Structure 1
Amino acid sequence: MSALFSPLTLRGLTLPNRIAISPMCQYSAEEGEATAWHMIHLGSLALSGAGLLCIEATAVEADGRITPGCLGLYNDATEAALRPVLAAIRKYSKISVTMQLAHAGRKASSHRPWEGGQQIPLSQGGWLAHAPSALPHKDGETPPQALDTAGLARIRSAFVEAAQRAARLGLDGIELHCAHGYLMHEFLSPISNRRTDAYGGTLENRMRFPLEIFDAVRAAFPAERPVGVRISGTDWVDGGWDLQQTIAFAKELKPRGADWIDVSSGGISPLQKIPVGPGYQVPLAQGVKEATGLTTIAVGLITDPQQAEDIVTSGKADLVALARGMLYDPHWPWHAAAQLGATVEAPPQYWRSAPHGVKGLFGDIVDGGR
Structure 2
Amino acid sequence: MAAKTNFREGRNARNKYESIFEGEHILINDLRTRKEIVERPISRYINKEIIGYPTSVEFHITEVAHVTNLTSLHKIWDSEGFKGHNENQFSWWSQKINNCDIQEAEERYLERLFPNRSKEAKSAQQPVLKQFTTSPLFNNEISRYGNFRFTFPLSELMETYKKQKCEGEEPVLRVYGTKIFRQEIEYVVLVHSPQFNEKFKNFPLLTSSPIVDYDGHRIIWKAQAICETHNLELDLQLGDILVAKPMFYQFYVWDQVSFAFHTNEVLIFPKTKLKASLRCCEHDSKIDLSLGKNCSSVKDAERVAESLNDGEKEEHKSEEIKLEKD
Coarse TM-score class (shorter-chain normalised): under 0.3
**Structure number with larger C-alpha Rg:** 2
TM-score normalised to the size of structure 1?
0.21
TM-score normalised to the size of structure 2?
0.23
Relative to its length, the structure with more helix (as a share) is 1
Relative to its length, the structure with more strand (as a share) is 2
